[in-house]
Amino acid sequence: MLKEASDETNRMATMTRFEEAWSGWTESRLTQEEAARVLGVCERTFRRWIDRMDRCLKVTN
């Protein structure tokens, strides 16, 4: 149970950091490379996450 709570906390922290990096990228304050570095992932992973975010936003609109 403690591990599950920790995993959920980590997911929420990652989502928060992604939203901040994504916002910085969409507002041209960060490049994809810089945003990926902030998140501790490679640039390709950040692009995949952007694609997923775009698909989610299209479904909700």
Which two three-digit tokens encode residue 36?
Answer: 């990926």
Which two three-digit tokens encode residue 38?
Answer: 């902030």
pLDDT tens string 11-38: 888 889 999 999 999 999 999 999 999 9
The pLDDT value given to residue 30: 97
Domain count across the chain: 1
If we measure between CA atoms, which residue out of 25, 61, 20 comes closest to residue 43? 25
Distance between CA atoms of 61 and 37, rounded to whole angstroms?
30
Domain hosting 49: range is 2-60
Distance between CA atoms of 21 and 28, rounded to whole angstroms?
10
The dihedral formed by the CA atoms of 27, 22, 33 and 15, expressed in degrees to the nearest 10: 160
The pLDDT value given to residue 8: 85
